[in-house]
C-alpha cells in the first residue's frame, strides 16, 4: 500500500510539466549561486583548511540537488491543512497509518525531484564547474546508506514537528521553525567546518547533521571508512529516537482528537 502511495506521489509530481521546467531552472540557479559564493570565499582566502575548493564545489552541487529539503516544509503544510479542515479524521479511518502514508507519498515526490531534476542538474553543473567522484568505492556505498538515513530522519522529524499542529492549530510558525532549523543545523547550505568551534561541537551531535552534512562528508572522504561506519551507527540511533518521538506525539495527538470529538 505504501509503495503504491509513493508511486502515486511520483506520478503526481510528473504530471505538472510547467512546474518541472520551473524547478529545473531553479535548480540551476541554486547551484550557480552556491558555487559562486564559495568560489568568492576561497578566492579571498577565507576558505577552510578542512576542505578544498573542488571539494566545496562538489559539496555545493550535491547540497543544492540531492539534499533539497522542500518536502519537509510541504509535509508540515499538508498535515496542517488536514488538521485545520478536519480531513485528518477521514485519514484516520483508513487501514493505513496517516503519518506513514503522508511520508510515502512525499518520498515519491522526492524521488521524482531527485531523479528527473536533481541528478540532471548535478551532471550538467558538474561538467561546468567540475565534480569530484566519491573518495572510494566504500565511501560510495556508505554514502548511499547515509542518503537513506537522511531521508528517514528528515521525514520523521518533519512529521513530528507537523504533529505539534494538533495543539497549536496554525502550522505556519512550525513551517518556518523547521526551515530555519534545517538551514542552520543540517549543513546543507554551510558545512559545519565553517562554524565556530563551540557551535560546531554542539551541532555535530544533533540529528540534523545527519540530514546533509555527514552524508556529504562521507562522500568527499572527510571521514575514513571506520569513522563513516561509526557515524552511520550514531545516526541510526537518532533515527530510532526520532521514530520513537513521532510515535509518542502521534499517540498523544490521537488521544486529543478522541477527547475533542467526544
The pLDDT, as a whole number, for residue 262 is: 43
**What mean pLDDT is predicted for residues 12-26?**
71
Q: What total number of domains does the chain contain?
A: 1
Which of 90-94, 216-220, 250-254 is least confident? 90-94
Whether the per-residue pLDDT at 145 is higher than 70: the answer is: yes
By percentage, how much of the chain surpasses pLDDT 90? Answer: 27
| pLDDT tens, residue by residue, 117-132 | 888 888 888 889 988 9
Residue 9: band (very low, low, confident or very high) from pLDDT cuts 50, 70, 90: low
Which of 42-56, 57-71, 79-93, 130-144 is least confident? 79-93
**What mean pLDDT is predicted for residues 251-258?**
75
| pLDDT tens, residue by residue, 172-219 | 888 888 888 888 898 888 889 888 888 888 999 999 999 999 999 999
**Lookup: cell for 125:** 553543473
Whether the per-residue pLDDT at 4 is higher than 70: the answer is: no
pTM of the model: 0.85
Residue 257: band (very low, low, confident or very high) from pLDDT cuts 50, 70, 90: low
SS (H, E, C) 69-133: CHHHHHHHHHHHHHHHHCCHHHHHCCCCCHHHHHHHHHHHHHHHHHHHHHHHHHHHHHHHHCCCC
Whether the per-residue pLDDT at 65 is higher than 60: the answer is: yes
The pLDDT, as a whole number, for residue 261 is: 47
Whether the per-residue pLDDT at 139 is higher than 80: the answer is: yes
d(CA 48, CA 39): 12
Whether the per-residue pLDDT at 225 is higher than 80: the answer is: yes
d(CA 69, CA 222): 23
d(CA 199, CA 36): 26
Other Cβ atoms less than 10 A from the Cβ of 49: the count is 6
Q: Higher confidence at residue 158 or residue 89?
A: 158
Residue 245: band (very low, low, confident or very high) from pLDDT cuts 50, 70, 90: very high
Q: Higher confidence at residue 13 or residue 108?
A: 108
Whether the per-residue pLDDT at 56 is higher than 50: the answer is: yes
What residues make up the domain containing 248?
2-261
The pLDDT, as a whole number, for residue 259 is: 44
DSSP the chain: -HHHHHHHHHHHHHT-HHHHHHHHHHHHHHHHHHHHHHHHHHHTT---TTS-HHHHHHHHHHHHHTT--HHHHHHHHHHHHHHHHTTHHHHHTSSS-HHHHHHHHHHHHHHHHIIIIIHHHHHHHHHHH--PPPSSHHHHHHHHHHHHHHHHHHHHHHHHHHHTHHHH---HHHHHHHHHHHHHHS-SSS-GGGS-HHHHHHHTTSGGGGTTHHHHHHHHTSS-HHHHHHHHHHHHHHHHHHHHHHHHHHHHHHHHHHHHH-
The pLDDT, as a whole number, for residue 177 is: 86
**What mean pLDDT is predicted for residues 144-154?**
92
Amino acid at each position: 500500500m505504501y509503495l503504491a502511495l509513493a508511486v502515486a506521489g511520483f506520478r503526481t509530481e510528473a504530471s505538472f510539466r510547467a512546474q518541472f521546467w520551473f524547478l529545473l531552472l531553479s535548480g540551476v540557479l541554486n547551484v550557480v549561486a552556491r558555487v559562486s559564493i564559495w568560489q568568492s570565499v576561497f578566492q579571498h582566502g577565507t576558505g577552510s583548511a578542512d576542505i578544498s575548493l573542488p571539494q566545496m564545489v562538489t559539496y555545493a552541487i550535491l547540497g543544492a540537488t540531492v539534499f533539497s529539503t522542500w518536502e519537509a516544509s510541504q509535509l508540515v503544510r499538508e498535515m496542517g491543512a488536514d488538521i485545520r479542515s478536519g480531513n485528518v479524521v477521514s485519514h484516520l479511518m483508513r487501514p493505513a497509518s496517516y503519518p506513514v502514508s503522508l511520508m510515502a507519498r512525499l518520498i515519491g515526490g522526492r524521488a521524482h525531484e531527485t531523479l528527473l531534476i536533481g541528478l540532471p542538474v548535478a551532471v550538467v553543473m558538474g561538467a561546468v564547474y567540475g565534480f569530484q567522484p566519491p573518495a572510494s568505492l566504500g565511501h560510495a556505498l556508505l554514502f548511499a546508506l547515509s542518503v537513506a538515513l537522511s531521508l528517514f530522519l528528515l521525514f520523521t522529524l518533519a512529521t513530528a514537528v507537523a504533529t505539534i499542529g494538533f495543539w497549536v492549530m496554525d502550522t505556519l510558525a512550525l513551517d518556518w521553525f523547521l526551515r530555519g532549523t534545517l538551514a542552520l543545523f543540517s549543513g546543507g547550505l554551510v558545512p559545519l567546518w565553517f562554524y565556530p568551534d563551540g557551535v560546531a561541537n554542539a551541532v555535530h551531535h544533533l540529528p540534523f547533521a545527519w540530514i546533509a552534512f555527514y552524508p556529504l562528508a562521507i562522500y568527499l572522504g572527510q571521514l575514513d571508512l571506520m569513522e563513516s561506519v561509526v557515524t552511520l551507527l550514531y545516526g541510526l540511533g537518532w533515527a530510532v529516537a526520532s521514530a520513537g518521538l513521532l510515535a509518542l506525539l502521534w499517540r498523544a495527538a490521537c488521544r486529543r482528537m478522541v477527547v475533542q470529538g467526544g
